[in-house]
Amino acid sequence: MKAGTRPRLLVACLLACSTAACGSGRRPSSILLVTLDTTRADRIGCYGRADAGTPALDALAARGARFERAYTTAPITLPAHASLLTGSYPPYHGLRDNGLAALDESVETLAETCRRAGLRTAAAVSGLPVARTFGLAQGFELYDDEFPPAQGGASGAIRERRGDATVRAARAWLETLAPDEPFFLWVHLFDPHEPYQAPAEFARRLPGDPYQAEVSFADSSLGDLVAALAGLERRDDTLVCVAADHGEGLGEHGEDTHALLLYDSTLRVPLILAGPGIEPRVVGAPVSLADVAATLVELAAIEDGGTFSSRAGRSLVPLLHGEALAARELYFESFFPRLHFGWSELVGLAGEDWKYVEAPGARAEDESVRAELFAPRADPSERADQSTARADVTRALGNDLRDLRVRLESSAAPRARRTQTQGELDELAALGYGGADVLAELPGAEAAPEPGRDPRLVVEAVRLLNQVRAQAGAGEFEAAAEAVGRIEALQPGEVLVHEARGDYHLARGRNGARAELEQAALEFAAATELEPGRRGLWLRRFEVLKALGRLEEALACLDRAFDLAPPTPEFIQARDELRRRLESGGR
């Protein structure tokens, strides 16, 4: 038993409970939690999209409660899932990005509480960011994260398991249970994440919209899972909760995917509860993924000792009966811009009437923190910034946010940076998370915000950098040079400009143009001097110097890269080869 936690007891599901507590008087004995990766709320039928192709989600919402304004805590897979499973915000649980850290064993998870209460526990997950190595397996008897070999995709080699295969694994476990055996099962469906490669049947149904086809395919897998419950005669005693970890930009506000910005395209998620004691209802109050754990344990009459409502989460049970919760502001963040590009992080609050987001490291002309203020009900697309017109609200929410951040950081759980393997680095890079190019160190909790560009002003640089690499790699040098020029004009920061130029000249130099390699070496040298903590820059500088025959310098760059992350067999071999060449006079 973890220090500081109370013994958890399972309250028998046959005990009577008040109508105010659980509606019809019934309580579920089991919990099925399904998380849909990268799924926007507005791409689901019951949230208003006519051609969504999501009958399973729509059916759950029709017989249960649908939360209209549910927010993630971070538009990144691992931090969001950690919040959902621990009832806490990222400043507490310590996961600010994919792959950098693992959940500390001292942090109580929903699975641990359920298992202690007597429930059988299992998880079947579909993507690398929630693999067991990152700490989310705590409390699960079975944690099935068996992914197939990496497959080539639009972004590179992807390790994920299709939703239908994950559901088959979950169904197989369910079939091992006794008919009345209580359980907690978490199933994670990764399909809507880029690259969008839905099975042909779903792609044909939704031509021209590969993302929607993936959402529809995930819905089909969910439908099979719910049907399995019915087939095992477990529907009537199982609480079903479906949520997304975050949404997808799809080009809105300049963001193609997610992780960089905090607009509702990536923050607002579907959240649906159905099962015993849940009456059909649409809930309009703003809620957080951090509220899910506290809600599930109350609905299932599982004693958690207040764990899931002591950090950030609140039980949403009153909202299920038309009652109100005390007014509060929900926290969310993204440190991805700072960790991967040296820009300012983004942090924000959402309440009943307003949504506030600021870039703590970026300053306006009057030296105030750059902030945006939106009225979500009147302006759901977030195009009308009210921060100037409602300066009073902006100031008040800014002060509230800074006070909250101090409180959250001061009570943080233990944390430590986790060393990534090369395979994880490569696979995270293929998923669009930067992989090896992330900073070596997490920002310090006590440090004042470092100066950095507001990501909202320079987000286009990410698309342009990818464009430079793709076009130069394909020999389209004129188009790549134009993209480099656009990056320079955008002024996203010197490191990114040097990186873009270096990538461009390196691609040209691979054709044997020594002058291009010399220029690439200068660009990467400037980038590593400005930002010495990014392993990917050192590796690209190594490649250039090796091609130029500057072997001692190349070896030094490779050693520096090894200091920042574990070496791979390929690069160990490269280092051994360099040393042999140096010992033989450079031949």
**DSSP letters of 122-176?**
EEE--BGGGSGGGSTTTT-SEEE--PPSPEEETTEEE-B--HHHHHHHHHHHHTT
pTM for this one?
0.89
Q: Alpha-carbon distance 247 to 269, whole Å?
A: 6
- State residue 20's pLDDT score: 35
Percent helix, strand, coil in the chain, to 5, is 45, 15, 40
- State residue 416's pLDDT score: 54
Q: How many CB atoms lie within 10 A of CB 476?
A: 15
**CA dihedral of 444, 448, 452, 456, whole degrees rounded to 10:** 90
Q: Is residue 452 part of a domain?
A: no
314 and 463 inside one domain: no
Q: Is residue 273 part of a domain?
A: yes
Q: Alpha-carbon distance 506 to 52, whole Å?
A: 44
| Residue 562 DSSP SS3 | helix
531 and 538 Cβ atoms separated by less than 8 Å: no
Q: Which of 283, 304, 325 is the last residue in one of the domains?
A: 325
Q: Is residue 305 part of a domain?
A: yes
Helix (H) or strand (E) holding 82: helix 77-86
Q: How many CB atoms lie within 10 A of CB 400?
A: 15
- Between CA 319 and CA 327, with CA 324 as vertex, the angle to 5 degrees is 120
Across the strands, what pairs with 242?
A: 34, 272
Q: Which of 325, 349, 371 is the last residue in one of the domains?
A: 325
Counting the structural domains of the chain, the total is 2
Contacts 24+ apart (CB under 8 A), 417-423: 417/100, 417/101, 417/441, 417/442, 418/99, 418/100, 418/101, 418/102, 418/133, 418/134, 419/565, 419/566, 420/99, 420/100, 420/565, 420/566, 421/566, 422/565, 422/566, 422/567, 422/568
**How far apart are the two ends of the chain, measured CA to CA in Å?**
61
166 and 188 Cβ atoms separated by less than 8 Å: yes
Q: Is residue 23 part of a domain?
A: no
Q: Which of 282, 307, 325 is the last residue in one of the domains?
A: 325
465 and 320 inside one domain: no
Q: How many CA atoms lie within 13 A of 116 on its CB side?
A: 20
Residue 283: both structure tokens together: 């809930």
Q: Alpha-carbon distance 444 to 299, whole Å?
A: 38
Q: Alpha-carbon distance 296 to 55, whole Å?
A: 24
Query: What CATH number is attached to the domain comprising 475?
Result: 1.25.40.10
Pairing of strands 120-124, 142-144: parallel
379: Cβ contacts below 8 Å, ≥ 6 apart: none
Q: Is residue 378 part of a domain?
A: no
Q: How many CB atoms lie within 10 A of CB 532?
A: 14
- State residue 461's pLDDT score: 96
- State residue 340's pLDDT score: 87
- State residue 151's pLDDT score: 56
| Residue 579 DSSP SS3 | helix
Q: Per-residue pLDDT tens for 35-78?
A: 999 999 999 999 999 999 999 999 999 999 999 999 999 999 99
Q: To 10 degrees, what angle do helices 551-564 and 569-583 make?
A: 150
82 and 89 Cβ atoms separated by less than 8 Å: no
Which DSSP string do the residues of 436-497 spell out, in sequence order? GGS-SSPPPSSSPPPP---HHHHTHHHHHHHHHHHHHHTT-HHHHHHHHHHHHHH---HHHH
Q: Alpha-carbon distance 329 to 334, whole Å?
A: 17
- State residue 24's pLDDT score: 44
Using alpha carbons, select from 134, 122, 105, 143 the residue that is nearest to residue 5: 105
Q: Alpha-carbon distance 159 to 431, whole Å?
A: 9
300 and 11 Cβ atoms separated by less than 8 Å: no
Q: Is residue 4 part of a domain?
A: no
- State residue 587's pLDDT score: 61
Q: Is residue 441 part of a domain?
A: no
- Between CA 321 and CA 326, with CA 322 as vertex, the angle to 5 degrees is 105
Query: What CATH number is attached to the domain comprising 102?
Result: 3.40.720.10
Q: Is residue 103 part of a domain?
A: yes
Q: Alpha-carbon distance 49 to 566, whole Å?
A: 46
Give the residue numbers spanning the domain of 561.
459-583
Using alpha carbons, select from 386, 383, 417 the residue that is nearest to residue 265: 383
Give the per-residue SS3 of 305-365. CCHHHCCCCCCCHHHHHCCCCCCCCEEEEECHHHHHHCCCCEEEEECCCCEEEEEEEEECC
Q: Alpha-carbon distance 213 to 207, whole Å?
A: 8
| Residue 284 DSSP SS3 | strand
Using alpha carbons, select from 443, 385, 375, 381 the residue that is nearest to residue 415: 443
Residue 50: both structure tokens together: 């006519």
Given a cut of 70, the residues of the chain with pLDDT beneath it are: 1-26, 149-158, 416-449, 566-569, 586-587
